[in-house]
Structure 1
Amino acid sequence: MNEISKYYRDPTHITEENWVEVFKISGTHKTLAAWIREKMYGIDVREALARLVEQMSSDLYDDRQIAIALDKLAKELQEKWDNDTQKIIDEWKNTIGGVTVDSELINARIDLHGIVYKTLKERLDDMQSKIENLDATESVFTLNHNQNCYPTLRVFYSTYGAAVVPSEEEPMGAGGSEVNYVHAEPIYHDLDSMTVKVPFKYKMVNPTIERISENQYLLVEDIRTLLVEIGSKGEANVETTMEFTSTLDYKNKVAKSDLENPNVAKWVHNTDLLSPDNSKYNELNQAYYNLLVNSSFVINSVVSKARAIALINFNLYEDFKRKFPSAISDGSLEQNVQKFRLIFKSANWGTYSKGSNGIENKSTMRIWNQTAWVVPRENKTDKLAKLQDYTVNPVYIDGRGMLNLIVYSEQNDGTVNSVLEISKPIVTYAVTVPFAPIK
């Protein structure tokens, strides 16, 4: 007897009851099983078997895609939620494994106090909101309070109107919403300086800041206000200073207007590098400003032997004055700009650019030092590249409080235009803001 035939020696029929639960079998598989059992000819039985194999492969493929999708979703949830949501993540993984029952998902919508949320997302959103209200992660400002101690810190939040006013007891609303206490955190650098951190919900990007009492500082951004109270009035009525950093660009710039954004950008075709106040410069129109911010602005010099030139004016003093309206306000523009230079700490500026003139690829950025364009920074490629520099010298702030940059291509040869492409100019400056004692 050969090796194969020994497997086909059982002449008895299969009489045991079919233990497969029929209600779990799909219609397709029932049809294939019937064909295998009932077809008269071998070719039909083989075809039925072949289709069964293909159907099983197709089912396995679909199951695998579902498993991959569920696994990807589980990983995304793992990254998004931590600690307080770990239990929910584990339950979701168990759901993928087929061991979670409906009651577990229902329980996940109930918090420790018995409050039932309509959906699991509703509970997670509520948890995240509470965490963001308690976890102080965002720095509001750093203050040299000069109290020679580790003073207490209180922060209050309100919206609309003046919102908060100094008070002997608690801050009171002034035509705005009710005042809420903020879970702020002090970071003490030494006995005379500290950083105030608030939860993400109360973060401010470009607030105006005023000292409104001996130990209170009011921050206002749009309709939102923060009142920061440091120490006690008896010890706080001294000169204080604050470290402040601001970033300027051309977002929200309206052509021919200084109200929304005080910075100005201009262009010219010229052989020489003109001073910032030269009347030959043309201010960008609104479409050009939009390109400067969202993509890039191109200057195509059709003038023979000329350069394509962009002038970038950042109004540091005006930006500072708007954020600290009472810090420097009792003199002429010239006097106030000089005071601003005295508190200036540093500036970091830059822009993306590239240039060509038919002979070479080259764009250059320089800064104005009151008499000449200095400190060249160059890009000699045909790709947009960032040109940038840094200074602690206030000499680059002109009599109007401006920091002036020029970006240009080389002169053309009279046959091919000089072209300059420029994108997203920006400057970040830092100052030490003085607050005089309250009289």
Structure 2
Amino acid sequence: MTYRDDTPITDEDKRKLQRDVSAGEIDIVAQTVATWLREKMHGKDVRESLAQWIIYTTRIAQYLINDEQEFKRAMNDLKLELINRQGQVEGRQTDLENQFLQVIANATVDSEVILARNSKRYGSYITLDNRLEHIESLLASYVPAGFTITLKHNQNRNPRVNILYYEYAIGTETGGFGTGPSGSFGGTNFTSVAPQIEYQDLNTVVIHLPTAYAMRGVVEYKYGYWYLIDGYKTLRFDLGEVDDRRALAGNGQHQISSDSVAPPQTDQQPTTVIAPRNLRATRINDETEKLDWEN
């Protein structure tokens, strides 16, 4: 570093810096002030160089802040516009669906079907399908059938099972830590799930849950509970006081499955027809004969 420049910093030098900043020539401004600091011989010019750098650093920072705020404002306006458009699209879609349902409803002339649309408990539905879909949604949410978990707990007893469902627990957010929906940090939508329990033996429990809680993944015991995690969704199984060593030994032996429930069959036909034996025909009259045989 050589202090070889004995020329003072003039007002024109300062105005040139201002013009360069206004034109966005930040590199030129930085290089000019750095050269002054390295080469100016007199203390007042060095102090002026420092002062100019502080002024323009502050100004540049302010520009960046303003640009960021403007960018955020523009993005927020765009988001609001998209939400508004989405609402309009969904509104039009709902109108079309309602019109379609009205067409179906008006096309039905069967009085029994029309009467079956209405429920004393839940009110009226546009179509019978709407009522059936509502019933199925209730079944899927509350009837403990359709999804089965088999826990190998190894506790040598038949434990009481308490199940908790929740979403966006820490570590399960789709985009990483703290990226869940607003207000979901630490978990949300906590729901106690009522199961149907079967005890295969003193070390195994079969848990039947509604299909609304069907999940993929691997059941694992840790920290006093059994967990089934699928993306941002979690099922936690609480069996009370647990022997950790025995519980950990069951990891890798748990099973999950979605039950296949076939619709009931009425008047089932036999798969094979057995040929009759000792078939005999007895004449009753000119138009009728009686047949007898053995199976």
Q: Same fold (TM over 0.5)?
A: no
Structure with higher strand content: 1
Calculate the TM-score normalised by the size of structure 1: 0.27
Structure with higher helix content: 2
Calculate the TM-score normalised by the size of structure 2: 0.39
